[in-house]
Amino acid sequence: MCEPFSLRIIRLFSRAIVRIPGSNFDAGLTSAEFGAPVFDLVLEQHQRYCDALVECGLELTTLEADLRFPDSTFVEDTAILAAHGAVLTRPGAASREGEVDAIRPAILGFFPNPLRIEAPGTVDGGDICEAGDHFFIGLSHRTNEEGARQLAAHLASFGYTSSTIDVRPMTSILHLKSGIAYIGDKTMVVMEEMAGYDQFQGFELIGVSADESYAANCVRVNDRVLVAAGFPRLAEVLGARGFDPLALDMSEFRKMDGGLSCLSLRF
Ligand code: CIR
């Protein structure tokens, strides 16, 4: 018999790569107006995030801080790691381009033959939303049309379908996944502004109200959903739909335009 609130785990992650924030974290890129991050809190929140991934059953590869790249704790932007293949990206911000070479050795340990995005293409991993066997590719001020074209071809070679969503006109988000998340079980969490998009037909939608839109960047990790702390309505709805939210304080990463998904590569 079917239990109404038992969720099927559609993809079990077993590992994640994270990078410790550097002491110059506050020199990274940001458009947010929440003030400067407090470094002790940055480290504390990052440690709690790593502990949460371990609680969810993941084995972590933890990379040392890399002071050459103040944004390099946001490892998600450097690669797309999927069950059938990996792609190294070419981040759209010049100051972040070298992050891919820096993380490549760690990725090669798990994905020996990754494909890559070549110039003039650019892709930030934060624009790529895996939803089962389909990938949504955000066109943003970081991911350009050529990058999206290359990535779609790479994904097709792995057996995945993809489609693009243009978020360039939206000033409130940096990346596609700043506004949407796929949390398994055919369910998308979607910020209000994007809730009516045709592309999400066929998915169960959990809408996120404008005042909680930061929380749309949540992450399903095995049987939990990581959500930013301080957004009680989304956590409540997730719970009511049978998900198991785990709230994490993200205040210091938000100050640098970062969210939960950016802080790890999960596979
Ligand atoms: C940046 O602007 O590139 C960083 N300060 C934040 C990157 C956040 N990454 C993500 O959402 N995947």
What pLDDT, in 10s, does the model give residues 12-60?
Answer: 899 999 999 999 999 999 999 999 999 999 999 999 999 999 999 999 9
The residues facing 81 across adjacent strands are: 86
| Nearest residue to 103 via CA among 93, 92, 114 | 114
The conformation of residue 110, written as its DSSP 8-state character, comes to T
**pTM reported for the whole predicted model:** 0.95
What are the phi and psi torsion angles at 200 (to 5°)? -95, 5
Rounded average pLDDT per 10-residue block, the chain, 267 residues = 47 92 98 96 98 97 98 98 97 98 98 98 98 97 98 98 97 96 97 95 96 97 97 97 97 98 98
Structure tokens at 76: 């998600």
Placement of tokens 């995005």 in the chain? 117
Structure tokens at 182: 């796929």
The Cα–Cα gap between 56 and 48 comes to: 12
Which residues lie below 8 Å from residue 238, measured CB to CB, with a gap of 6+?
183, 189, 206, 218, 225, 227, 244, 245
CA atoms within 13 A on the CB side of 221: 28
With a 6 Å cutoff on the Cβ, whether 88 touches ligand 1 is: no
pLDDT digit string, tens, across residues 137-153:
999 999 999 999 999 99
Distance 1 CA to ligand 1 centre (A): 44
Distance 204 CA to ligand 1 centre (A): 27
| Nearest residue to 107 via CA among 127, 92, 86 | 86
Give the residue, by CA position, lying nearest to ligand 1 atom 9.
Answer: 262
**Other C-beta atoms within 10 Å of 186: how many?**
13
Residues in the chain: 267
Q: Which mutation among 78, 143, 256 tests ligand 1's pocket best, with the greatest number of atoms within 8 A of CB? A: 256
Mapped onto helix, strand or coil, the DSSP state of residue 173 is: coil
What is the amino acid identity at position 156? A
The Cα–Cα gap between 58 and 139 comes to: 30
Active site residue 154: no
Structure tokens at 69: 């790249």
